[in-house]
Structure 1
Amino acid sequence: MAGGPEGVPTVVTAESRRIARVLLDSPLPQLDRLFDYALPPELGDVSTGVRVRVPLRTAGRVIDGYVVELDTEDDADRPLSEVDSVVSPVSVLPDRLYRLARRAADRAAGSASDVLRLVIPKRQVRVEKAWTADAAVPEQSESAVAAAADLLASYDGLDEVLEDGGRAAVEAIPVFHDGEPGWAALLAASAVRVLASGRSSILIVPDHRDLDRLLAALEEAAPAESVVRYDSRQTNPDRYRSFLRSLEEAPCIVVGNRSAVYAPVQAGLVAIWDDGDPLLGEPLAPYINARDAALLRQEQESSALLFVGHTRTTDVERLVAHGWLQDVRAVRRVLPRVILSTPQEMDAPTAQRMPSSAFLSARNAAAEGPVLVQVSRPGFSPSLVCAECRAPARCAHCGGPLGAKHRGAVPVCAWCGRGARAWACPSCSSTQLRLASSGSERTADELGKAFPGIRVIVADGAHPVERVADRPALIVATRGAEPLADGGYRAVVLLDGPRMLQAPDLRIGEACLRWWSNAAALAAPGAPIHLVGVDGAIARALATWSHSGYARSELAERAPLHMPPAARVALVEGSAAAVGRALVALEELALPADAVLGPVPIESDDYPPRVRALVRFEYGAGARVAATLRASVVAEAVSNRRGRGKSTRSALTVRLDILDPEL
């Protein structure tokens, strides 16, 4: 007897044989399909989803794979290779996970095995032997469930979304609950509500700081045995142990970073915090953003889906405008007290980096508790300029920007690390340098002199700080590195706004609004929040806390240009001949005449020279464009393999859904 595709026993006669359809764990695009292998009788019963070792005749070796389907066939004379061995009896690839990986890969013109490599850890034999799949259903505290219900009731219609498996964009209230951020308490309450109904939840956050805050919020709200942590900081055994727990039938709460969106639970809720954070975009092929994977998963499993944030990305606002997502807001909105310092104030002859209103506010607040000062860059002085002509100081060896680690230090190149002791300006021959901007350390040095007697704390990538006490202090933090303050900050000053907005990024307005809003949400109730040197629509959006309106205006501006997310964008890169063939194949889809931008050459030492092109297309054409580009990638890979030795690099690479297209 052998299990059929639906788990129904299938009779194997003398004229038939068992076969397994196997997905190979290989990065080669031409191998991204199911291969038939014969199952020899000595392997016994084999289940779908198990790891196996199978021969690959073209490569002359044995590789890993997963059994996706089991079947029998009458044509026993068809030549088939046999499965070499079963690595483990544990079914690590449930059907729902395979279907999700297949859909995500097809949408991104990638390989399913690349997606599965993100979620299925390497096997740990000791962990597997100690694991039993009979975990009991966790018991929840009635008081915790009641507290979660009370919190959810403060959002209009959120409980109905969780109950009915709906989709919503939720504006988080910028307040604290029991010392933890309001968004963390909201996600924890949503997961507790779903767990009480006997279903699992997946909670996705961008980085380890957010993960720790969410786990702290869940510590009192949910049973410890129900929380499953997916974290890149885990050891391999711990990661495999968490993965095995998520395979069990008992409901749980999966908490993790972007790859946790593929956790193999039967999800009743998928929630993502701060979906605009670039850390939610996978840097490895097929480069799928956790937001897109969550949308595919919700459509497949009919689970509830929440995008929670202080701000609203244009991607989510587009879905709200189309009615795909419900707009959920608090019954009673709590708006931060934002004070704007206009560019005109900063242009005055006597103006300092921090205007007088913000300075006085920070000085008064620092006498009572912590004050947050957000800056754009870490270090002492990230960049230097010529003291005479103000030309940017560049390294004579590699052309990289010169910076200073502290006052009076030898300038150092940010790219190659060489010192520039005998620097001379190529424009005016001056040998004098001037500090062009202030990093976190230089700002702390300046504020330490302006606020005598007040402790100054630097919080950035090199000096991580998780939490500060409720006592007088100045915390100078780079964007995204702001620590929590017990009781909230007494004042928040957002410096370097104009410099942040100058970044050559299509989404820099969205990013700045997200950085500023997340910092403002750390303030104590009623504390002043000063945005320095910024005016216009983005300043008004922060002051009035109308992020959805700003996202709508951004969408309206991008639509005529066919830029994301108004349209999807694919990046096609490779040799000129390969890119040309891929673009010719796309012509059969009858895309608009202006759909293709490029190709243009890429500055590199590769031979043959590589070029890059962008393809813009509507969402309705996504499946056809992805399939056509994937076929081109496979064709070039096969052709490149036949001409082995000419080049070790892929002749053609494709990446869909570029968030910031740039040629």
Structure 2
Amino acid sequence: MATVARVLLDSPLPQLDRLFDYAIPAKFEGVARPGVRVKAPLRSAGRMVEGWLVELGEAEPGGRPLSELAEVVSPIELLPRRLYELARAVADRAAGSANDVLRLAVPKRMVRAEKAWLASDPPAAPGVSADAAATAAGILSTYPGLADAALAGERLAVDAPPHPAAGELRGAWADLAAALAVQTLASGRSALIVVPDHRDQTQVLEALAACVPDDAVVRDDARRSGPERFSSYLRLLRDVPCIVVGNRSTVYAPAHDVGLVLIWDDGDPLLAEPLSPGVHARDAALVRQGVESSALVFLGHTRTTDVERLVQIGFVRALPAARRPSPKVVLSATHEAESRGARVPSSAFAAAREALQHGPVLVQVARPGYSPVLVCAECRTPARCRHCSGPLRARRAGAVPDCGWCGRSAPGWSCANCSATSFRMASSGSERTADELGRAFPGVRVIVADGDHPVASVDDRPALVIATRGAEPHAAGGYRAVILLDGDKMLMAEQLRIGESCLRWWSNAAVLAAPGSPVHLVGVTGPVARALATWNHAAYARQELADRAPLQMPPTVRVASVEGTAPVVDEALRELRATVPALDATAVLGPVPQGEGMVRALVRVDYAHGRAVAEQLRSSVVAAAVSGRRRGPRSTPRTTLKVRLDVPELDL
């Protein structure tokens, strides 16, 4: 019986998301091995396409003659079987293509880096010194049972220590993550640490630098050059354990014998994959843990409703610290004697004045810039650009406003509602706040930290640090006070998860305070404020789940988005109802028009029926792609149906 190569073609066409059999020419025998990159003819299109040789098999007896492989692009087995199985499982869960997942996991091939790898010797197995192991054990001892649970491969939700690391410009959470990774490496297995951005990555790398040798740590992120990324990927293919630290695609890293996957701050939107099939790093990690039985740790200062749901059903175990420290949070409100429009209440102002005698003070604001929102001075209608209808903003006091979308200036502006020609500043950005507080505290350094003015850290000298959410720098020894402004405006956003997001933004800023230093949350009351003040994020997440369950809001249910032309969407929904009769009449919302002849529907489904819904929607995508093929000698398909599962918001 002849041996055939089963190839996954690298094509965006959904109908090609399966293995195709190809004959192996004699010249490729011994070279065409599972995992190598190949080129093969695509008979229907009359062209060569690249693909992955996934496995070798036997030809079916009596079958038609097979096309032959045209080329073996690289002799290196770049696609381990474990990575293909993970990509297949993730894609099936999300009604997507395995190729889309592999494009996220496997960097572009670099020939020079590949040749250097072939000529190099395999790295030696990294060791963990006795001192490093003892230090890691000491850190893990603050969470009773954590070390044993991680080695046993459990799924855990761990509340991060809410304070900076002693004497370091990083959070104590980074030391805890490093300790778990060091313990895993000492056991002879690899560890993956997935973080949202480079600031978090830097903290973890600094914590690891003091524990393990440099060659034991692999950095994985998009900021590196192509050759560097490909070289790091080749390092992961060695049968030698390591610690991988990177962004959301790191969850797919094909490291040797993975014993731990740690997700830091899973509520950060940067961990949500925008590219198809749009699988969140948290969900990909859950799939991977089911495939490989490695430990899975969700570490964060807050608890997302997604993780809390898993805790409630017993799929993930919450593991608290031996002591439950928390920042000193004060809910600051404007007193009767103060102006109702006062932005900084007297209590927070006094705390800042006292703290500035000893060190830096952090002030968190909602938005960057000087005045991000302008309104008509007469009728309070938002000021809009006459060219694109974008919001007008002021870059400094007395300046001509410009558009936040197209950048055009707006001299001679007049209100479209009342024709008034004057406007007022309706909000204060980071720069305007810096001006105001700079005048209130003369002689004090003022530092602005936002997207346009990135600041990684500040020293321990007195300073006012005005930072937008997520851009807060670390302070040597921690901030002597933290003031959280604009909380009421943040909570006004029309988003399902805005309460979760605000609690995460405020908590991540509060933990930058030095132990015992006050954290003032200004002008906010209600459940979110109480959760921050009591530092009981799990209770808030439980209440959110309880409130969403009767309304069938995510994450109590899975939500699929189905978008395309009206006939195609209607047919997909009809087939879905016929295939999954458990869907009730309220499961489908829409379809509603989206413009350009497209419509969109949302499908709410219980987790028990998620697999069946994903399979049927994937079948509809393939059917729509095949039926949408144009006629002609060089016909190409049209994308007439788009499906995305686990949409976080019910937004039609």
Shorter-normalised TM range: over 0.9
Corresponding residue to 2:158 among 144, 150, 170? 170
**C-alpha distance in 2 between matches for 1:441 and 1:647:** 52
How far 1:560 sits from its partner (Å)?
A: 0.7
Is the Cα contact below 8 Å between 2:6 and 2:21 reproduced in 1? yes
Q: CA deviation at 1:110?
A: 0.3
Q: Structure 1 residue 500 and structure 2 residue 485: aligned? A: no
CA distance in 2, matches of 1:552, 1:340: 22
What residue in structure 2 maps to residue 24 of structure 1?
9
- In the alignment, the residues of structure 2 paired with residue 519 and residue 632 of structure 1 have an alpha-carbon distance, to the nearest angstrom, of 45
CA distance in 2, matches of 1:538, 1:354: 20
Count of residues paired in the alignment: 643
Deviation for aligned residue 1:646: 11
Q: Select 2:605's aligned residue among 605, 612, 617.
A: 617
- The aligned residue for residue 49 of structure 2 is 63
Amino acid at match of 1:301: E
Mapping of 1:325-364 within 5 angstroms? 325-342=316-333, 345=335, 349=339, 351-364=341-354
Matches within 5 A, 1:521-600: 521-588=511-578, 589-590=580-581, 591-600=583-592
Kept in 1, the 8 Å contact 2:365–2:467? The answer is yes
- From 244, 253, 261, the equivalent of 2:243 is 253
The residue identity in structure 2 corresponding to 1:203 is I
Pick aligned residue for 2:90 from 90, 96, 104:
104
Partners of 2:238 and 2:532 in 1: CA distance: 44
Q: CA deviation at 1:647?
A: 9.9
SS in 2 for 1:633: helix
Alpha-carbon distance in structure 2 between the residues aligned to 1:209 and 1:201: 20
2:510 counterpart residue number = 520
1:369: Cα distance to partner? 0.5
**Is residue 630–residue 637 contact of structure 2 (8 Å, CA) maintained in 1?**
no
> 1:417-455 CA deviation, whole Å, 9 max, x = no partner?
221112111222110010000000000011110110000
RMSD: 1.5
**For 1:62-101, what aligned pairs fall within 5 Å after superposition?**
62-73=48-59, 75=61, 78-101=64-87
Which 10-residue stretch deviates more, 467-476 or 400-409? 400-409
Within-5 A mapping of 1:314-393: 314-342=305-333, 345=335, 349=339, 351-393=341-383
Among 272, 279, 288, the alignment partner of 1:288 is 279
Write out aligned runs for 1:125-524 (5 A). 125-131=111-117, 132=120, 134-177=122-165, 178-179=167-168, 180-265=170-255, 266-342=257-333, 345=335, 349=339, 351-524=341-514
Q: 1:647 to 1:660 in 2, by over 3 A?
A: farther
Partner secondary structure for residue 381 of structure 2: coil
Confirm or deny: 8 A CA contact 1:466 1:484 kept in the other structure: yes
Q: Distance in 2 between matches of 1:347 and 1:283?
A: 49
Checking the alignment, whether the CA contact within 8 Å between 2:487 and 2:524 is kept in structure 1 is yes
Matches within 5 A, 1:4-43: 16-43=1-28
- C-alpha distance in structure 1 between counterparts of 2:398 and 2:8, whole Å: 60
Q: Decide whether aligned partners of structure 1 residues 348 and 639 sit closer, same or farther in structure 2, where only a CA change above 3 A counts.
A: farther
**Separation in 1, partners of 2:113, 2:389:** 51
State how far apart, in whole Å, the 2-side matches of 1:349 and 1:205 are: 42
1:661 aligns with 2:647: no
How far did 1:156 drift?
2.1
Q: Deviations over 1:495-528 (max 9, x none)?
A: 0000000111100000000000000000000000
Match of 2:641 among 652, 655, 661: 652
Report SS of the residue matched to 2:460. Answer: coil
Q: Aligned partners of 2:400, 2:137: CA distance in 1, in Å?
A: 59
Candidates 17, 28, 49, aligned match of 2:35 = 49
Q: Which residue of 2 aligns with 1:640?
A: 628
Conserved in 2, the CA contact under 8 Å of 1:346 and 1:352? no
- Displacement after TM superposition at 1:44 (Å): 2.1
Q: Which runs of 5+ in 2 are unaligned?
A: none
User: What is the rounded CA distance, in whole Å, between the counterparts of 1:469 and 1:293 in structure 2?
Assistant: 39
Mapped to 2, the partners of 1:497 and 1:385 lie a distance apart of 20
Instruction: After superposition, give the CA deviation of every residue in 1:202-230 in whole Å (9 maximum; x if it has no partner).
Output: 00000111111111111111221110011
1:34 to partner: Cα distance: 0.4
Q: CA deviation at 1:650?
A: 1.8
The runs of 5 or more residues in structure 1 that have no matched partner are 1-15
TM-score normalised per structure 1: 0.95
> Residues of 1 paired with 2:336 and 2:599: CA distance?
44
Q: Return the offset for 1:354.
A: 0.4
Matching residue's letter, 1:661: L
Deviations 1:56-77 (A, max 9, x none): 1111111110111102336376
SS at match of 2:544: helix
Deviation at 1:176, TM superposition (A): 2.4
Task: State how far apart, in whole Å, the 2-side matches of 1:595 and 1:143 are.
Answer: 57
For 2:593, the equivalent position in structure 1 comes to: 601
* 1:9 aligned partner: none
Helix, strand or coil: the match of 2:436?
helix
The residue type paired with residue 644 of structure 2 is: R
Percent identity over the alignment is 61
Bigger mean CA offset, 126-135 vs 85-94:
126-135
**Which residue number in structure 2 is paired with residue 7 of structure 1?**
none
**What amino acid does structure 1 have at the position aligned with 2:624?**
E
Find the residue that maps to 1:169 and give its secondary structure: strand
Q: 1:209 to 1:339 in 2, by over 3 A?
A: same
How far 1:122 moved relative to its partner?
1.3
Instruction: Specify which of 617, 629, 634 is matched with residue 617 of structure 2.
Output: 629
Alignment check: 8 A CA contact 2:629 2:637 kept: no
Quote the Cα distance in structure 2 between the aligned partners of 1:267 and 1:349: 58
SS in 2 for 1:427: coil
On the 8 A contact 2:629/2:638 being kept in 1, the answer is no
CA contact (8 A) 1:345 1:533 kept: no
1:279 maps to amino acid: L
> Structure 1: how far apart are the matches of 2:161 and 2:468?
23
C-alpha distance in structure 2 between counterparts of 1:623 and 1:143, whole Å: 47
Contact 1:573-1:654 at 8 Å conserved across structures: yes
Residue 119 of structure 1 pairs with residue 105 of structure 2: yes
Measure, in 2, the Cα distance between the counterparts of 1:367 and 1:637: 67
Q: Is contact 1:375-1:439 (8 Å) kept? A: yes
Query: Using the alignment, how far apart are the partners of 1:524 and 1:209 within structure 2?
Result: 19
Give secondary structure in 2 for the equivalent of 1:58.
coil
